[in-house]
Amino acid sequence: MRTLLGVMTLIGLYLLLGGCSDPDSVPETHISTPPAATPTSEVEHFPLRTALFGDLHVHTSWSADAYAGGNRLGPNAAYRFAKGEKVELQTGAEAQLQTPLDFVALTDHAEGFEVHLPCTMMAGSPEFDLQRCRDMRSGDLDIATMLKQAFATAGLRPQPHSYDICGDDARCQANETDTWQRVQVVANAHNEPGRFTALIGYEFSSLLTEMGMLHRNVIFRGTDVIPRSISSLDVRNQKDFFDQLDAACNAPCEVLTIPHNTNYSWGLTFSRTDEDGSVYTSEDLERRARIERLFEVTQMKGNSECQISVGASDEDCNFGNTFPPCESIGDRRCASESSFLRNALLDGLMLGSEGALNPYKLGVIGSTDTHSSDPGNTRSGIPARFKPAEGIGMAVSRLLEADHPVAGPIRRFSPGGLAGVWAKANTRAGIFDALQRRETFATSGSRMRIRFFGGDLPEDIGGQDNPIALAYERGVPMGSDLAVTKAPSFWVWAIQDPAGPPLDRIQIVKGWVENGQQHQRVWDVVCSSERLPDANGKCQSTTADVDLKNCERTGNEGATELKVTFSDPDFSAEQPAFYYARVLENPTCRWTTLLANSAGKDLPDDLAATVQERGWSSPIWSASQ
């Protein structure tokens, strides 16, 4: 089947740990009627914004690759999990969030909408009894065969339709439209203004050769959406995708796209030319900048902020990296500069200095990219989706040694990240508006809260009676442009995850263009436990640590909150620049360490035993007034 079977973030794991059960069963719950709408309650509003946490990258059994990996939990189960209910995952492990999410978008792959539900869950459909569909339900297709099928046409635009299953354009389009309408119905049923927001969305998933990907999540503001879920089966290139999306989303429809896993894009996501080599026009850049205002900086398949030895980087960029640096232009399955956020932000400044529009003014979020219908499942010790169904012993050994067909060892994966927004209300409009103005932050799974402002801020703003009101009055929040005539000051405030470790430090990352050259600098601007940055702007290493035998925390350093006002000592109003904050927690055991300990196995020798989880603010861009 030429649907998206190549984005198999956990399929190797699932098959290694038992695959799916009862091959021809079609549990009613997967396509059942959604729950009745919850009675409308009064919505609380927050003039100075409140921090809300969500996951904008979630796959259910309605994604072909998740289903092939054994997932039989549909959207209803995923929404219930996000709201805090206990759910049994396909591994047999029970999972439940310690704290429910505030919002979620289920982003099943649109490339499967034309055949997946009729093949797997709709027994009355013309497709259901086809042998190809029976094979999908059987679980007998091995991963090598599925990947070969998926990537046989990778790089072709448009991607070929599954005519061998749905027959012709009319039937394929009818199936796709029906699935897209079902997606909307379930989201609308689970949306509870003021309590829980279910945003309507899907994933656009175009495949590249060498198992690469140019993927974006497509998120809508409300119930007014496009008639069809535009996918890689419909477009000639990325420009065509934005053209069609913009044309189809007529007011009151509003839409945002969020690229992810640019570390798998072989440098194409932030290239100055399209995937087919065509040059973007100023109109193309304007449209993209208007629609694509956010970036998924971290998720379970890796981190895309920066990487050591790949363009602009620093010593703390060695976090969640997947591929080695590319050796030559055009190399694949390696890390290139135009795959990472910091380099893209710098190139956007360069385009602006050359007189073009900057299309890379991107705010940041994190998400999971779970294919297990468990949104936001990031901080539960050993993530349930990584717990072998057989328990301990050999199952743990197999998992720690298992390979993902694209990214290599599964042990390199992370539990995934979270999206944080500063919203005026927990409603679709409130959250979408926060996303659109880029007043967002990302975490690698923590519930830490980060605020970041720039402007004419007093040095002692953190000690004022109402510092947030003053920050909005005399400055701008993260995600904003800051027009300056003199050096601004920046104020960053971070509060630890109540269920997580203390904070270690806050950093400010600056990028700027000077005399046609790109530059960057990173400062540790505040350290926990009264440690002071040295002359080079670096904190002494924390003495906080963990005992690897039992993963209990050691040392007394760390802070429940950190805040500081920062002024750039090298500021020049003539140099366009961006600034963003990065917050690091104290070290904790990596999930692989917890897993190995649970079975008395040796720790993987190619991974750090501990990790410093982190968060990122969206940037603030400064330019002369």
- β-pairing verdict for 481-484 and 620-624: parallel
pLDDT bracket for residue 484 (50, 70, 90): very high
Mean pLDDT lowest among 9-13, 475-479, 517-521: 9-13
Look at the chain and report how many structural domains it folds into. Answer: 2
Whether the predicted pLDDT of 373 surpasses 90 = yes
Q: Is the dihedral of CA 208, 209, 210, 211 positive or negative?
A: positive
Rounded to the nearest 5 degrees, what angle is found at the Cα of 311, between the Cα atoms of 490 and 340? 70
Q: Where does a domain end: 432, 466, 486? A: 432
Please report how the helices 394-401 and 591-598 are oriented relative to each other, as an axis angle in degrees rounded to 10: 150
pLDDT at 547: 97
Are the C-beta atoms of residues 541 and 586 closer than 8 Å to each other? no
Burial of residue 37, with CB atoms counted within 10 A of its CB: 0-12 exposed, 13-18 middle, 19 or more buried: exposed
Q: Is residue 42 part of a domain?
A: yes
Amino acid residing at 276? D
From 372, 407, 432, give the residue that closes a domain: 432
Q: Which of 520, 528, 522 is nearest to 507 (CA)?
A: 522
Predicted local confidence at residue 389, as pLDDT = 61
**pLDDT-based confidence at residue 6 (cuts at 50, 70, 90):** very low
Task: Give 337-359 pLDDT, tens digit per residue.
Answer: 999 999 999 999 999 999 889 99
pLDDT at residue 40 in the model: 66
Mean pLDDT of 47-64: 97
pLDDT at 24: 35
Q: How many CB atoms lie within 10 A of CB 418?
A: 29
Of residues 510 and 4, which shows the higher confidence score? 510
Q: What is the pLDDT of residues 541-591, one digit of tens each?
A: 999 999 999 999 999 999 999 999 999 999 999 999 999 999 999 999 999
pLDDT per position as a tens digit, 416-446: 999 999 999 999 999 999 999 999 999 999 9
With CA atoms as reference, report the closest residue to 427 among 197, 232, 622.
197
Instruction: Indicate whether 409 and 465 sit together in one domain.
Output: no
pTM of the model: 0.93
**Under a CB-based contact definition with an 8 Å cutoff, are residues 230 and 109 in contact?**
no
Question: When comparing pLDDT for 407 and 622, which is higher?
Answer: 622
333: in domain? yes
> What percent of the chain is predicted at pLDDT more than 70?
91
One-character DSSP codes across 306-369: --TTSSS--GGG-SS--SPBPSSTT--SSB-GGGSHHHHHHHHHHHHHTTS------EEEE---
Sequence-distant (6+) residues with CB within 8 A of 139 are 19, 20, 23, 68, 70
How far apart CA 500 and CA 615 sit, in angstroms, is 13
Q: Is there a single domain that holds both residue 418 and residue 529?
A: no
The mean predicted confidence, pLDDT, of the chain is 90
Question: Among 402, 432, 462, which residue terminates a domain?
Answer: 432
On whether both 554 and 515 belong to a single domain, the answer is: yes
Q: Based on the domain organization, do 479 and 401 belong to the same domain?
A: no
Where residue 26 falls among pLDDT bands split at 50, 70, 90?
Answer: very low
Q: Residue 396: which pLDDT band, with cuts at 50, 70 and 90?
A: confident
Kindly indicate the confidence band of residue 383, based on its pLDDT and cuts at 50, 70 and 90.
Answer: confident
User: Inter-axis angle of helices 238-248 and 282-291, to 10 degrees?
Assistant: 60
Joined tokens for residue 175? 């199936």
| 36-64: average pLDDT | 90
Cis peptide before 158 (omega within 30 of 0): yes
Query: What is the pLDDT at residue 11?
Result: 31
Query: Strand pairing partners for 506?
Result: 526, 583
Higher pLDDT, 411 or 479: 479
pLDDT recorded at residue 330: 85
One-letter amino acid at 210 equals E
Provide mean pLDDT across the span 595-624.
Answer: 94
Split at pLDDT 50, 70, 90, the class of 144 is low
Provide mean pLDDT across the span 36-56: 88
Higher pLDDT among residues 30 and 78, named by residue: 78
Same domain, 186 and 96: yes
CA distance 78 to 72: 11
Q: Is residue 153 part of a domain?
A: yes
Residue 444 placed within a domain: no
Q: At what angle do helices 75-82 and 169-190 cross, to 10 degrees?
A: 30
The domain of 423 spans: 11-432
β strands within 83-211, DSSP E: 87-88, 94-95, 103-106, 197-199, 201-208
Do the domain assignments include residue 1? no
Residue 440 lies in a domain: no
Question: What whole-number distance in Å separates Cα of residue 172 and Cα of residue 163?
Answer: 7
Q: Are residues 427 and 454 in the same domain?
A: no
Q: Are residues 465 and 417 in the same domain?
A: no
